[in-house]
Amino acid sequence: MILIYFITIMLIAALLALVKNKPFQYIAMSVFIIVQITLTTYIFFQGDINYPDYFRADSLGLIFLTLLTIISVTTIIQSFVYLEKRNDTIAHRSYYFASMVIFISSMTGVFMSNHIGVMWIFAEATTLSIALLIYHERTHEAIEATWKYIFISTLGLSFSFIGILLFDISISGFHSALFTFSDLQNVFISIQNKMMLQLAFILIVIGFSVKMGVFPLHTVCIDAHSVAPSPVSAMVSTSLMNVGFVAIFRFYIMLSHSSIFNWMNHVLLIIGFLSILFAAIYLVKVKNFKRLIAYSSIENLGIVAIAIAVGGIAWFAAILHLVIHTFVKSGIFYQMAQIIRFYKTKKVYLIGRYFHVNPIGGIVMIFAFIILSGIPPSGFFFTEFMIFSSMFSGGYAIVAGLVMVLLCFIIYTLAKYFFKTLFGPVEIETINSSKKISKWESVPQLILLVLTLVISIYPPPFLLDMIQDAIATLPPIN
Amino acid sequence: MATLLNIIFIITLFYAAISGRMFALINLLMIQGLLLFGVALIELREMNLINLIVILVETLVFKAILVPYFLKRTIRQNNIKREVEPFISGVNSLVIVSVLIILSFVLTFSLQQNFHKVIYFTVAFSAILTGLFLMVSRKKIITHIIGYVILENGIVLLSFSVGNEMPMIVNAGILLDILVSVLLFGFFLSKIRYISKKFEISSLSKLKD
């Protein structure tokens, strides 16, 4: 099944790049959506893939694959909206869609792969395929951001490949047949060479931090957010960050019974704390609306990294946090596309009175702010509550206090700029000179926000079961 | 024999540190590609035949022919100046690279691996560190790509020393990914001429808060 999927995807991408025709793009993207949904539902109900050496459908991968499929449908709809309002040549459009198809399918590959090398290949493929998407607007900033993103990301992934090779060397005495996550979990219990494993894990975390958007290499991720077309930013900020999380978390699970378990927790705690710290510091001087939201993503992924480190109920909260984050953040970025188009700027201080201009879009932004800031009934309230309470009970009270202070700064900045956008003053010229906004454009965002609320208030039991299953093999924290 | 090739590999790293001409650096990449081909030929003899042939052909074609050719073409097409223009002078670079090689010896022995191929480990780490050093110490963006290729050569050497447990499809995918990334670097490098004719990293400083 998954092999047929990848062949179909290659075919669709090749046709999209070659056939430069608008109606064809609509047809091909609809076919792609159908293929993606078919694969997801098939794996969801069948729960089984034919190639256990390379691919495996476990709960962790499946949760994020489902999220990816939902987000990709809305992203493709919003991409059409975005592209219709721009006067791009037909060639640019076709490269956009071809890259998007490869990008989404390589993320699918990361979530589904079981072989470590295969996962690395797909992770690298996400970097290569996103290049043209970031470059789409073809401005100077776009060139700069694309260059930095692909260079640093490729370099980072090279580091994680060194890490993978070090794992390979460290198990060379204990011949296991396959180099897969599921097979190796038991091998690492008996490995005594602590320093080798530590070096390998730190290299892997550094490499995938580009994708996950946490401390060492998060800066290129922010640059990519700020210049990419907004529907693409929505993907970078949600699904791509989930890719980084899944990669790191799989290694974490694989090593969870080894001798470096406590050390890994300390590394992740430091990384998460530094991410939140950097986000809070840089948010003070941010002037670009998209960078503002990007720093908010860094902060949320920092919380997730801390949650992994703390363990216990926080592992559960981390995945739930990412699910909610995925829905709300993509909604914000879709709405952002509209805001940027209307005001023709990304500068925060030139945007205002958005509620007056487009009440439905304004409601989306207010909703999104309530969820982001963790005011009940936002799901972030529950997840952050779980994370903080397990931090206090786990002996991390000082860190928890510091993180709370930093979160106050972040929420203050977010509130300042969100309400400036909605109700703040703006030159009346800007509003009169722009075109009217269609109400229907905000429908996908509203659906995503309703989904967020549903998950926050009544999380579906099958989701909770899947999250429980994903963290089932982790050891009890001491 | 493999040890000899490894020593020649180390010597190419020293040469990379002092070389002042771009084309000399790229020829060096070609030599490194040939060396990797030789190492693969000696080290991986026991692998099954099809797998071996794929790896050998890929190493030779990608590392020794396509990547250097493509880099040279990029330089010619964009009229990039042929000097390397380091921040750190040749002699100092030489000293730093020597220190890096000693560091990788220390690292290898501190990992305490009773691993029979200590020399591979050392050479691979030296190449990785030298590649990183070339990236941070040179002004031109094309030298960053060359540094990246040297780093990748180090990683490939390391993966050969593992005795290669990865199945063929994985190896092929990894080498293909590396090739495509170098092609993409070249493509976007030629786009940088719209920002600055000098192709220096200092011209990419517009995105900040």
DSSP, residue by residue, A422-467? HHS---HHHHHHSPP--GGGGHHHHHHHHHHHHHHHS--HHHHHHH
% helix, strand, coil for chain A, step of 5: 80, 0, 20
| Cα Rg of chain B (Å, integer) | 17
User: What 3-state class would DSSP assign to A115?
Assistant: strand
Question: How many Å apart are CA A314 and CA A309, to the nearest integer?
Answer: 8
Question: How many Å apart are CA A333 and CA B167, to the nearest integer?
Answer: 40
Residues 161-180 of B with CB under 8 A from A: 162-163, 165-167, 169-171, 173-174, 177, 180
- A348 contacts: CB under 8 Å, gap ≥ 6: A286, A287, A288, A289, A292, A417, A420, A421
Residue A113 pairs in a beta bridge with A55
Q: Smallest Cα–Cα separation from B131: which of B156, B143, B148? A: B148
Instruction: Please check the confidence at residue B130 and state whether its pLDDT lies above 80.
Output: yes
User: What 3-state class would DSSP assign to B21?
Assistant: strand
CA distance A359 to chain B (A): 30
CA angle in degrees (0–180, nearest 5) for A417-A298-A215: 135
For residue A434, give both structure tokens.
Answer: 């722009």
CB within 8 Å: A158 and B152: yes
This model of the complex carries an ipTM of: 0.93
A37-43 contact pairs (CB < 8 A, 24+): A37/A69, A37/A73, A39/A1, A39/A2, A39/A5, A39/A108, A40/A65, A40/A66, A40/A69, A42/A1, A43/A1, A43/A112
Q: What is the pLDDT of residues A170-190, one digit of tens each?
A: 887 666 567 888 888 888 887
Question: How many Å apart are CA A378 and CA A371, to the nearest integer?
Answer: 5
Length of chain B in terms of residues written: 209
Mutate to test the interface with B, among A2, A140, A221 (most CBs of B within 10 A): A140
Q: CB contact, 8 Å: B116 with chain A?
A: no
Report cis status (omega within 30 of 0) of the bond before A475. no
Q: Smallest Cα–Cα separation from A367: which of A403, A413, A408, A328? A: A328
Instruction: Please check the confidence at residue A354 and state whether its pLDDT lies above 70.
Output: yes
Residue A194 pairs in a beta bridge with none
CB within 8 Å: B207 and A145: yes
- A214 contacts: CB under 8 Å, gap ≥ 6: A244, A271, A272, A275, A298, A301, A302, A305
pLDDT band at B21 (very low <50, low <70, confident <90, very high): confident
> Could you count the other beta carbons within 10 Å of the beta carbon of residue A183?
16
Provide mean pLDDT across the span A400-404: 94
Q: What is the dihedral of CA A459, A123, B129, A224, to 10 degrees?
A: -70
pLDDT band at A268 (very low <50, low <70, confident <90, very high): very high
CB A383 within 8 A of CB A459: no
Instruction: Please check the confidence at residue A9 and state whether its pLDDT lies above 70.
Output: yes
Domain ranges of chain A: 261-478
Highest mean predicted confidence (pLDDT) among A7-16, B118-127, B140-149, B155-164: A7-16
Domain ranges of chain B: 2-201
Q: Which of A54, A155, A286 is facing B209, going by the closest CB pair?
A: A286
Q: Which of B144, B155, B207 is facing A223, going by the closest CB pair?
A: B207
For residue B146, give both structure tokens.
Answer: 């060359």
pTM score, whole prediction? 0.94
Instruction: Please check the confidence at residue B113 and state whether its pLDDT lies above 70.
Output: no
Q: What is the mean pLDDT of chain A?
A: 89
Q: Smallest Cα–Cα separation from A468: which of A60, A7, A32? A: A60
pLDDT band at B114 (very low <50, low <70, confident <90, very high): low
Q: Smallest Cα–Cα separation from B103: which of B131, B118, B122? A: B122
CA angle in degrees (0–180, nearest 5) for A237-A300-A149: 40
